[in-house]
Structure 1
Amino acid sequence: MRKFDIRNIKIRKVTVDQLNDKMLLINLYVTQVLTLIIGIVWVLFQGRNPLDFFKFPISYDFIWWGAGLALLVLLFDLGISRFVPEEAADDGGVNERIFGKRPVWHIAVISLFVAICEETLFRGAIQHAIGPYWTSILFAAIHVRYLRHWIPTGLVFSISYGLGWIYIQTGTLWAPILAHFLVDFVMGCIIRFRREEK
């Protein structure tokens, strides 16, 4: 049996086209798990209980907030896509690769997983520390694939600020989780079925 030597690990930059489907999914899920772990650890360092985030609220008002924000985002995104050239919203093909061939149930699983992990870190931990504005700047920055074009960067910032705002209004993380899930799920399905039509 060969001994494992950490010095033999080589890290190199790869593009999304160089990843096969399995590696793309592994990368997606691993980065989201790391996001969730960082969020939980950060919340613990703040002296708060991360399980409190996932207590289901007594009132169902958060559904209206989450679904309402998602509807606004989707209408704006679909409206603007009619006037903006496709290359101005290019993300390097990442979303196409992630959602293009997935069954609907898997798009739903990915969307829910991403929503829970990212909202735990960004709304649950970071926003508590630095507020919704700076949190939204960080949120836009980690979506690095959009940074080449100002329209998707501005849209990601605005969505993040909206997610932070509904979190403040409702007092529950379920509102931004729901909105994040619905936006990702609907956009994922649009990518999936648009590809099928082609």
Structure 2
Amino acid sequence: MKKFDIRNIKLKTISVDQLDDRMLLINLYATQAITLVIGFVWLLFQHRNPFFLFSAANSLDYLYWGVGLAAAAIAADLLAARFIPDEANDDGGVNERIFGNRPIWHIVLLSLIVAICEETLFRGAVQYHIGPYWTSIIFATIHVRYLRHWIPTGLVFGISYALGWIYIKTGTLWAPITAHFLIDLIMGLVIRFRREE
């Protein structure tokens, strides 16, 4: 019987261009599922019921916070795209590949899944443990495609911190989920229709 040697394992780095559309989507959905599972497990270790995070809000104030933050984040992103050279705002083509040829219903679905999964982990579980500042550093770090340039990394950090702040302010996870969903949806639609032109 042949012995297994961990030193023989070789990891190969591939770019987003080397993934076909099917593999890209499988990767996206798998990472979001893993994010949600980690969030639920972390919440259970904190002795908190994950489903309580999704209980109905007492009022619709969270919508104002979510929509307001989304509008501010989209305005900041569009301003950055207008005045900053493309090479300083480059994400390696990931967003273009994810949203560029996608039907509108699929952009809506992707945006909703990403918002729920990431906010459950980061605002629901991680922020409870280490606060919004360190959570935002981790959040910006996992968006590794932006780390090559400080401007998009700074935008992701700032948006993450604002998501944490509105979560604290409203007391409901629905505020950051709403903002995150709208940011991803609108930016995804911008990419989709800009490509069509």
What letter is aligned with 1:69? Answer: L
Report deviation, 1:80: 2.0
Q: TM-score, normalised by structure 2?
A: 0.94
Alignment partner, residue 17 of structure 1: 17
Alignment partner, residue 173 of structure 1: 173
**Alignment partners' CA distance in 1, 2:13 and 2:174:** 35
SS across alignment from 1:53: helix
Alignment partner, residue 81 of structure 1: 81
Would you identify which runs of 4 or more consecutive aligned residues in structure 1 move more than 4 Å? 7-11
**Alignment partners' CA distance in 1, 2:94 and 2:170:** 32
What letter is aligned with 2:144? Answer: V
Q: Structure 1 unaligned runs (5+)?
A: none
1:2-35 CA deviation, whole Å, 9 max, x = no partner?
xxx9x99975221101100000000000000000
**Aligned positions of 1:20-169 closer than 5 A:** 20-169=20-169
SS across alignment from 2:92: coil
Q: Structure 2 unaligned runs (5+)?
A: none
**Alignment partners' CA distance in 1, 2:110 and 2:10:** 28
1:142-176 CA deviation, whole Å, 9 max, x = no partner?
00000000000000000000000000000000000
What's the C-alpha RMSD, in Å, of the aligned pairs?
1.5
**Alignment partners' CA distance in 2, 1:158 and 1:21:** 30
Report deviation, 1:56: 1.3
**Alignment partners' CA distance in 1, 2:116 and 2:11:** 28
**Alignment partners' CA distance in 2, 1:14 and 1:77:** 27
**Alignment partners' CA distance in 1, 2:86 and 2:9:** 38
**Alignment partners' CA distance in 1, 2:9 and 2:53:** 37
**Alignment partners' CA distance in 2, 1:187 and 1:144:** 18
Q: TM-score, normalised by structure 1?
A: 0.94
Instruction: Provide the identity percentage.
Output: 69
How many pairs are equivalent? 192
What letter is aligned with 2:114? Answer: V
What letter is aligned with 2:46? Answer: Q
Report deviation, 1:77: 1.1
1:77-104 CA deviation, whole Å, 9 max, x = no partner?
1122111001111000000000000011
